[in-house]
Amino acid sequence: MACILIIDDNVQVLETYCRILEHAGYEVVVAVDGKKGIRVFHGIIPDVVITDIIMPEKDGLETIKELKRDFPDAKIIAISGGDKVGPGNYLKMAKNQGALCTLTKPIEREELLAAVQKCLS
């Protein structure tokens, strides 16, 4: 069973993604910011990381950069709803930092599962 780490400061988003992924047969662990996410990653080395971009403590871009520096083979999906300028720029930067896939919130169930499957294949 593949292990997925979800990093997002929105508890509702975490709960929704957890339900979707657990129902699909994945083991899921969560963290509420990038700083905690990095700690969790080091403890379990998940198969895929799904990280939001805009978060307190350590944002998703910093998180992606650090994970890819320490674990070059880390498979990362970056997600963002953006802010005033929209998610496009953030997701482009995430891709440049090493995210394998990028998704714009709100994310449909099938879209999330397809991105995870892409990372695992």
Q: Taking the domains of the chain in order of start, what are their residue ranges?
A: 3-120
pLDDT digits (tens, 9 = 90+) for 12-36: 999 999 999 999 999 999 999 999 9
Q: What's the pTM value of the predicted model, to 2 decimals? A: 0.95
**DSSP codes joined into one string, 45-81:** --SEEEEESS-SSS-HHHHHHHHHHH-TT--EEEEE-
Retrieve residue 42's tokens.
């080091």
CATH code reported for the domain at 3-120: 3.40.50.2300
What three-state secondary structure class fits 28? strand
Q: Which one-letter amino acid corresponds to residue 114?
A: A
pLDDT digits (tens, 9 = 90+) for 52-105: 999 988 999 999 999 999 999 999 999 998 665 555 688 999 999 999 999 998
Q: Which one-letter amino acid corresponds to residue 13?
A: V
Is the Cα dihedral 1, 47, 3, 19 positive or negative?
negative
Q: Which one-letter amino acid corresponds to residue 107?
A: I
